[in-house]
Chains A and B, each alone.
Chain A
Amino acid sequence: MPSHDVLVIGAGLAGQRAALAAAEEGASVGILSKVHPVRSHSNAAQGGINAALNPEDSWESHAFDTVKGSDYLGDQDAIEVMCREAPDEILTLEHLGVTFHRNEEGRLGTRAFGGASAARTYYVADITGQAILHVLYEQLMRHDEVYRYEEYFTTKLVLDDDGHAAGCVARQMRDGTMELFAAKTVILACGGNGQIYNPTTNALICTGDGIAMAYRAGAPLMDMEMVQYHPTTLAGNGLLITEGARGEGAHLYNAQGERFMEKYAPNKMELASRDVVSRAEQTEIDEGRGFPDGTVALDITQVPRKRIHEALREIVNVGRDFAGVDITREPIHIKPGNHYTMGGVKTDKDGHTGVPGLYAAGEVACVSVHGGNRLGANSLLDTLVFGRRSGKDAAAHARNHRMPEPPHSHVSDEEATLSELVGRDRDGRRVSEIRADLGKVMDEHVAVFRDEDGLLEAAQTVQRLKEEAKTVAIDDKGTIFNQDLFGAIELGFMLDNAECVIVGALERKESRGAQFRTDHPERDDDEWLKHIDLTLDGDRPNVTYSEVTLTRWEPEERKY
């Protein structure tokens, strides 16, 4: 049985950063991922990473922008930690080899980003996430004390009799063998749940596995209703156009040629917070001022072509390959699209979840630094700062613990469940059919604008889909790369995620950040300046509340 002091599940930025930090502390580390680490969705973060590194900038300013961006739902102690530690994290990455953009003096250069009061976004063209992910993977290749389990699909977390994390069960995708991993500590770093929506900017792997596994293991989830819609995604397939485009000076127009952000955010215009810009676009579209394909236009043509080629090259390709548009010459049609999971497994500043020995970092977690709305270029920062802190804390925690010896029954139980699934008669619906229904109902009723009727309808649909999932049928009867089987397991994870999002959205009877209830259109600090925590009770989430931590910024009206 493979055993490690620290077992990391997920190998995107949060997971790799946690693994490196734990290894630096001398822990024996294993890192599992259902895809090769460089395939992780951290790749898709194009625009950059925020840090108040300039002498003229301050971490307090970065923190205030984040607090305001979160619509005051972010925990200010955690936000302070993230913004204080951001500059060091950037420098660490730079020293490891990230090819950050330089200014004329050869120092780190910045670009502007939404919701920020200073240009503090550090970047590598528009492949920032990819560049950082690949540089961290270089370090994993260099340090063989971090043991990599690539293409291992984790199916469940294992706890010991005292309820302390003790490892996990995973299936080696390549040959189908089931393995039990023993670990003194487990760090979840498996990303968000964007695939419960369709369309989404998220990759097919973003199925909320970690959120669901933690929930099933008894860890509370938090603020699951907070789902970010990104203002600039392609209409047909949900592909992302980086906020960096607006950061470089691109404008938004409706079908009548009006630069409509003047009405919604006269000061920050296109660079207001994402929830604000997405709502503005959706309002224009809903009120008939969009294009016939349900979009508005993003115009990048006034950015000099030379600058586009050096700084926005990836979206030139996206426009050309996926929309047939040369963005250097004509506007591109975009609309708000599902993008980011602000909620997740409830953690503190060091990644501790409600289950001892279980940590969470990155999009899977809800610290919460993003509250009701995440600022652009804060997600990479979140993964790195809290990945590192979790890895470090987990390594220390492991020093005082004996290696658990989880019984083999964990594997045989899982094996039995999966064999039943593989051997099942083909009477039920296909995974893809249920998944399509789920994506549709979430995008219809749990999107930019929500109300009770829609949410109740969505809740009903998800309950029906959960029933159908119990008899879901798959075609592949093999053991090698049985992707059909993984799809069925992911479907179960996704339905748990969707149920929690809807329960949270129904519960929060106000409008804050990404949650806009047309039947409760105002923010209500007296009643709702609090987190919504969800814990599995039987087979339903039980709702409780927890305080939002305020340190130095009292809630005030939010204008851009």
Chain B
Amino acid sequence: MTETYTLKIRRYDPESGSAAYWEEFGVDLPPERSVLDGILQARDRQDGSIAIRCSCQAAICGSCGVRINGKSRLACNTKIGLAAEAAPNGAIVVEPMGNMPVLKDLIVDMDAVHWKKVQRVVPWLLPEGDPPEREYIVDPESMIDVTQAMACIHCGVCVSACLSMEVDPDFIGPAALAKAYRFVGDPRDAHAEDRLLDLAEDPHGIYDCTHCFACVEVCPKDVAPMNQIMRLRRRATGDYGIKDANNGYGHEKAFTDLIHKYGWLSEAQLLPKSYGDGSLIRAQLKPAAVRELAAKFPTIVRGLASGKVSPKTALIHHKLRDQDEIRRIYDEVESKDDRLELNLYIIGEDGSEEGEAAGSGGGAEEGAMAEGGQES
């Protein structure tokens, strides 16, 4: 059944010489249709000059990234009824994506930001030597594993939502780093270590992500870009022992060590430990670390002066009451033979491995192709 919705669209016409403005359109649609259907109806019936990139209407082509009620999304897979429920004052607010320059109405310059960053990660396979006569023989799970990153449609929604990029526009960012994992995780690529070293040493690389989950939340294809970034970090440190000049590695180690020890973060120890690869003593031996610590001194003073921290809470850190539970989590994770990976192509939506064992590959397929009826 059709209902009436109000779309409040951010308009911008660079040829008018005027600033961006809001314009409201009333549209009639059943609630299960999409916000894109609403925008197209407004364009078809009321104002043909509304500009938005769109094509497949099925969340495959990645054209229609926008912000709806402040949240970065694809317009085509956002139901208009749900968007209306979440809308302030009933009007569904539609704006162009963030972190990218606006060209007209809802169209942003993806080339200037997103595609430039993709180009930065050397986005093509670099195998060693000539290809084999037939296919490369690789572990079947590895192909399913990188398929999660391959599922990226380059819509830019994660780029739009990225808080790190808001602070550091040079941050390579979630989409391009997920693309990097697609090569690092691909056993046919011979340059995983070079790639990781490059991305770890770049001050705008893998350690520039602040772990805020915004990209994971907004990604319409479940690529979970932040997870791919974390996997790049784990491969960099765990597989290749890369210790980057930016101390990203040291910071992460200090962080996990402190949680292991206290169950919560000891800010006073975090900085010095970060600079000493996780060790307070080594930090004091490194001139660079001392310099960096000295530079942080005013921040510490401000914290003390404002009463945000007291010397007692800062320096004498107590453990959590149920600290053993935290340790148990560490033990559990570290006792696994394989690294735990969150990959929806492998574990499914609810994280429970159901049905048959992992290798339903070759044999089961050949069975399934038996002529006609496949009732087993």
Contact = CB atoms under 8 A, between A and B. Distances in A.
Nearest to A267: B372
B56 A249 contact: no
A104 B365 contact: no
B108 to A, nearest CB: 11
B240 to A, nearest CB: 22
A99 B181 CA distance: 13
B32 A324 contact: yes
Contacts of B369: 110-112, 118-119, 247
B189 to A, nearest CB: 8
Contact of A119 (B135, B154, B345, B366): B366
Contact of A104 (B140, B221, B345): B140
Given A99-B146, A268-B371, A480-B104, A43 B57 contact: no
Interface in B300-354: 344-349, 353-354
Contacts of A109: 140, 361-362, 365
Interface in A181-235: 203-205
Nearest to A484: B48
A52 B154 CA distance: 32
Contacts of A248: 368
Q: Chain B interface residue count: which class?
A: 35 or more
A43 B356 contact: no
B362 A105 contact: yes
Given A103-B362, A309-B345, A475-B48, A130 B60 contact: yes
A39 B135 CA distance: 28
A104 B154 CA distance: 31
B102 to A, nearest CB: 11
Greatest chain A CB density within 10 A among B14, B48, B151, B222 is at: B48
Nearest to B109: A174
A103 B365 contact: yes
A512 interface: no
A41 B54 CA distance: 12
B150 A106 contact: no
Contact of A107 (B60, B135, B374): B135
Q: At the interface, is chain B mostly helix, strand, loop or mixed? A: loop
Given A43-B56, A102-B361, A480-B14, A35 B63 contact: yes
A266 B373 CA distance: 8
Given A91-B135, A104-B359, A105-B137, A266 B372 contact: yes
A160 B320 CA distance: 82
Interface string A63-79: 00000000000000000
A127 interface: yes
Given A239-B58, A480-B13, 17 more contacts: A35-B63, A39-B53, A99-B143, A104-B363, A106-B139, A107-B137, A127-B151, A203-B55, A249-B374, A307-B364, A310-B345, A313-B345, A317-B59, A433-B44, A478-B13, A478-B15, A481-B107
A182 to B, nearest CB: 25
Interface string A261-292: 00001111101000000000000000000000
23 contacts: A35-B55, A41-B56, A91-B135, A97-B186, A100-B143, A102-B361, A107-B137, A130-B150, A134-B150, A138-B125, A141-B118, A141-B119, A203-B56, A306-B348, A306-B355, A306-B360, A309-B345, A309-B346, A310-B345, A317-B222, A318-B58, A480-B104, A484-B48
Interface string B181-195: 011001011000000
Interface in A74-121: 91, 94-97, 99-112, 118-119
B18 to A, nearest CB: 13
Interface in B43-75: 43-45, 47-49, 51-63
A131 interface: yes
Interface in A467-498: 474-484, 487
Interface residues of A, number: 88
Contact of B147 (A99, A139, A478): A99
B356 to A, nearest CB: 5
Nearest to A240: B58
B345 A268 contact: no
Contacts of A106: 137-140
A420 interface: no
Contacts of A269: 372-373
B150 A44 contact: no
B62 A38 contact: yes
B91 interface: no
A480 B103 contact: yes
Interface in A134-183: 134-135, 138-139, 141-142, 150, 174
B333 to A, nearest CB: 23
Given A110-B365, A203-B57, A271-B372, A307 B107 contact: no
B48 A430 contact: yes
B57 A432 contact: no
A142 B123 CA distance: 8
A207 B372 CA distance: 36
B110 interface: yes
B48 A474 contact: yes
Contacts of A477: 49
Given A104-B363, A107-B135, A305-B355, A268 B372 contact: yes
A441 B104 CA distance: 34
A36 interface: yes
Given A268-B372, A305-B354, A306-B356, A103 B103 contact: no
A108 B138 CA distance: 9
A322 B58 contact: yes
A125 interface: yes
A130 B47 CA distance: 33
B147 A141 contact: no
Interface string A21-62: 000000000000001101111011000000000000000000
Contact of A101 (B136, B143, B374): B143
B104 to A, nearest CB: 5
B131 interface: yes
Contacts of A305: 348, 354-355
A431 interface: yes
B22 interface: no
A431 B48 contact: yes
A304 interface: yes
Contacts of A91: 131, 134-135
Contacts of A100: 135, 143
